[in-house]
Amino acid sequence: MKFKIIKSHSKNLARVGQIETSHGTIETPAFIVGGTKATVKALTIDQIKNLNSQAILANTYHLMLQPGAEIIQQANGLASFMGYDGPTFTDSGGFQIFSLGLAYKQNLKDMTNSQNSNHKLKFSKGLINVSDDGVEFKSHLDGTKYFMSPEKSMKIQHQIGADIHMAFDQLTTPLADQSTIEEACRRTHEWAARSLAQHQLLNHQHKKNQQPEQSLYGIVQGSRIKNLRIESAKIINSLGFDGFAIGGIFEPTEINQVLGWIMPKLTLDKPKHLLGMGAQPLDLFLGIENGIDTFDCVAPTRQARNGALYTSNGRINITNQQFKTNYDPIDKNCRCYTCLNHTQSYLNHLFKANELLAYTLSSIHNEYFVVNLVNQIRQSILNENYQDFKESFLNNYYYKQLDSIKNFI
C-alpha cells in the first residue's frame, strides 16, 4: 500500500490523498461501505459500484464463524469471493468479540437508566474470558468456543486477504472506569506489537509466494481520557504500522477533542481511519477536518432498512403517513438510482407491504448519500471552498437543531 497527500487545507488538517492498493486506488477522504459478512446488505456488487463507492470493509469475527476464513482463502481472498474487483478492508474482530462479552448495548441501556449505577461494566460470565494471551468467547451462532489472540486475528485476516486490515485491540465502553480503560490500553498496545510481528511474518510468506502483500493499521484507544489517548497515539505511532485507525469515539461531539489530542502524535503522511463513525454528516466533516482519510459505518444501510432516509434537509422516516401521497423523489438533489426512478409514495408503499425491494432502494439511497457527501467534501478541499460547502450543507441538514451543532460549524 502507498499513501500520498495531494492537497492539504490551509486552516485545518483536512487533506485530499490517494491510498494505492493491489486492487486499485482509493481517493481520500472516502467513506468505506460496510460489508460486514462479505455483502453490503440488500445490494449487488454492481449496485455498490454505482454508488461511486471505492472500497468495502468486512468483519473478521463474522467471516471466521461463517463461512470460515479457509473458504475465503480458497476463493483467492475477500474481493474475489464477493465478485468484487476493488479494494477491501477487514476489522480485527475485536469490536464484535468485546461487544458480545459486554452485552454492550443492553448493559449500556441499563446503566444509563439506573441512577445508582457505579459505571462499571463487567464481562458477562460465560460469553467471553479475557487475558493477556487473548480472548476466549462463544459464537453467537451456535455457542461453539473460540480463542482469539493477536496472532490468530492476523492469521485469519491474512486468510481473508483484504488489502488493509487492523491490529487486534481491546474495546472499552463509554462508561468504563479509568482503571478498566488503563488496562485495556496496556493490552491494546501489547497486542498491537504482537499483531505487527505476526503480520510481518505472514507478509514475508506472501512475498515468497509472489502473492500481494497486505497492509496493517494500528488502533489508537484511550476512550475520553486525555493522557491515555496521547500515550496510546505515541506508542502506536512508534511501532511502524502502515496506517492508523482510531477506535472508541462514541459521539460526534467528542471528535474534535479526542482527535485534537491524538493527531499531533501520529505521523502526518500515513493514512488514518475513523472506526465505526459516519452515521451523521457531522461525524464526517469533523473527522475530515481533523485529518481522517477514511470512514466506515454500517448505520446508513441499517437505518435504510428501518425506513430512516437521509435528505439534504435532515433525516426522514419514509414509513410516515405524510409520504403516502408524495410523488417527489426522496431528495430532489440526489442523483442515486432510487431518486432518479422512484417516489416517496412508492417507497412508503414498499415498506408498508413488507416488500424486499424496500431494503434495496432505501439502502442504495442512504449509501449513495453518505459516499457522495464525502466525495463532495473531497472536491471542496480541492476547490478551496471547504468551509462554504460545510456551512451550507450543515445549515440545511440540521436546520431543525442548529443550536445543538452551531459550535461545530
Binding site for Zn ion (CB under 5 A): 334, 336, 338-339, 365
* Alpha helices by DSSP H, 209-245: 226-238
Q: Which triple of cell numbers denotes residue 295?
A: 470512514
Residue 46 CA to residue 29 CA, distance in Å, equals: 22
By beta-carbon proximity to Zn ion, the closer residue of 40 and 336 is 336
Residue ranges of E strands in 347-403: none
Catalytic residue, candidates 133, 296, 331, 403: 296
> Is 388 an annotated catalytic residue?
no
Q: Buried b vs exposed e over 152-176: b needs ≥16 C-beta within 10 Å? A: bbbbbbbbbbbbbbbbbbbbbbbbb
Question: Helices (DSSP H) in 239-353: which residue ranges?
Answer: 255-262, 281-289, 299-305, 337-341, 344-352
- Residue 132 annotated as catalytic: no
CB 313 within 8 A of CB 379: no
* C-beta contacts of 313-322 below 8 A and 24+ residues apart: 313/396, 313/397, 313/399, 314/397, 314/398, 314/399, 314/400, 318/344, 318/347, 318/348, 318/351, 318/362, 319/348, 319/351, 319/352, 320/348
Q: Which residue number, 250 or 337, has a Cβ lying nearer to Zn ion?
A: 337
Dihedral, CA of residue 148, residue 152, residue 156 and residue 158, to nearest 10: 150
Measured between alpha carbons, how far is 141 from 58 in angstroms, rounded to an integer? 18
User: 99 or 372, CB closer to Zn ion?
Assistant: 372
What's the CA gap between 225 and 314, in Å, rounded? 32
Q: Which of 91, 163, 283, 293 is catalytic?
A: 91
CA atoms within 13 A on the CB side of 151: 5
Torsion-angle region of residue 103: left (phi > 0), alpha (psi -120 to 50) or beta?
Answer: left
Based on CB atoms, which residue is closest to Zn ion, 77 or 281? 281
Q: Which is nearer to Zn ion, 341 or 395 (CB)?
A: 341
Closer residue to Zn ion, CB minimum distance, 259 or 371: 371
Residues belonging to the active site: 91, 296
